[in-house]
Amino acid sequence: MATATIEAESSESSVGFEALGLSAEVLSAVRDAGYTEPTPIQLQAIPLILKGRDVMGLAQTGTGKTAAFTLPIVERLAGGPRRTRVLILTPTRELCVQVEASFRKYARYAPVSVASVYGGVPLEPQEKQLRAGVDVVVATPGRLIDHLERQNVVFDDLEVLVLDEADRMLDMGFAPQINRVVSNVPPYRQTLLFSATMPPEVEALARKYLRKPVVVQVGRRSSAASTVNHYVYPVPRDRKSALLAALLKREAMESVLVFTRTKHGADRVVRHLEHDGIHSAAMHADKTQPQRTRALEDFKTGRVRVLVATDIAQRGLDISGITHVINYDVPQQAEDYVHRIGRTGRAASEGDAFTFMAPDEIAMVRTIERVIGQEIPRISVPGFDFGTVAAD
């Protein structure tokens, strides 16, 4: 796989969207959304995508990757015939909905139709929409295969394939489904791959499906966003819920996303917080899609201040104003730490990331520090710190 790599500067751009080759209709939608200057990955990727190049975009979460491919695709589709010309694969239902919303936002003045296809909801409404014909299909791999088997959609005219959050899709075991889907699309197409990290599995996927791609990279791989302040709280495992409630009662935490390792752990934390009078909601794979949608909407609108989630929420949730991310359980993979804390400190706003560290999680925290290239300060809370163990 022959590649060229562009290191996009992570500092603020002085170039406006007008310089990227976008039409007046798309620029109007961008202005309506409140954006005036492209992020570094948008600045580099959009012109390349408009030229038809295969692009591999590597950047932290919260850097504008979705608009980096949505905007040039809307530009390409505007005014064309209505048939399925673009397919975007995403790892989760929530990201699928988010990408669909991005298309609707930027295609406000362009006749571009889009359908989102994901599990947890009935097939029939999706089938009706697909058979009626749409320009863009945004899908999770498993549900899309269901529709392919029912011949609800064909990709004979497909022009662009996007693999979004490729590392997460591979982490979730979607490699066989991705291969099956790609076998149903034309070999001569533009392929775009976006990812927060670049493990060997993603490199192999790129070698398999991209032709002479240009790699656009923002920041070093596995780096944490510079707008996030990191802190570690040493605490015995059985005191984590009490520490969380204590911090929520005394700290200025307006919108808090809490990550637990298990679904039962998320439910247990919510019960503890509700018992302490702190409005919260749980979000994990055992929840139905309507339950997950309602929890997310309540969190976005402020009806609940705390959303407790498993790693289902570490990618693709574009929620403005999250002030704090709390790792109730230390993530077992350092890459997951980067993805989790990427939910705060977005769009140049500052955010705080707290990690609750039990004695048996010290080694995992040190691994995270090595990967992100910085030592995380320890905060000792009287009555909760397990002592000098963390400093050994």
- Calpha distance 230→378 (Å, rounded): 9
Residue 248's φ and ψ, nearest 5 degrees, are -65, -30
pLDDT at residue 143 in the model: 94
Segments making up each domain of the chain, as ranges? 4-218, 228-391
pLDDT in tens, 260-293: 988 899 999 999 999 999 999 998 878 887 888 8
The length of the chain is: 392
- Calpha distance 325→352 (Å, rounded): 6
CA angle 149, 153, 159 (to 5 degrees): 125
- How many Cα atoms sit within 13 Å of 140 on the Cβ side? 19
- Calpha distance 343→382 (Å, rounded): 29
Handedness of CA 365, 370, 371, 375 (dihedral sign): positive
Q: Is the pLDDT reported for residue 379 higher than 80?
A: yes
Fold for the domain defined by 228-391: Rossmann fold (3.40.50)
Instruction: Please tell me the CATH superfamily of domain 4-218, with its number.
Output: P-loop containing nucleotide triphosphate hydrolases (3.40.50.300)
> For the chain, what is the mean pLDDT?
86
Q: Is the pLDDT reported for residue 391 higher than 60?
A: no
Q: Is the pLDDT reported for residue 252 higher than 90?
A: no
Tokens representing residue 218 in the block: 């923002």
**pTM: predicted TM-score of the whole model, two decimal places:** 0.67
Handedness of CA 163, 168, 172, 175 (dihedral sign): positive
Q: What percent of the chain has pLDDT over 90?
A: 52
According to DSSP H, which parts of 16-160 are helical?
24-32, 40-50, 65-77, 93-106, 123-132, 141-149
pLDDT at residue 20 in the model: 92
- Calpha distance 196→198 (Å, rounded): 7
Q: What percent of the chain has pLDDT over 70?
A: 87
pLDDT in tens, 334-354: 778 887 887 675 544 578 889
pLDDT at residue 75 in the model: 92
pLDDT at residue 307 in the model: 93
pLDDT in tens, 153-190: 999 999 999 999 998 888 888 999 999 999 999 999 99
- Is residue 163 within a helix (H) or strand (E), and if so which, with residue range? strand 160-163
- Calpha distance 97→125 (Å, rounded): 15
- Calpha distance 194→200 (Å, rounded): 15
Q: Out of 23-32, 54-63, 215-224, which region has the weakest mean confidence (pLDDT)? A: 215-224
Identical fold between 4-218 and 228-391? yes
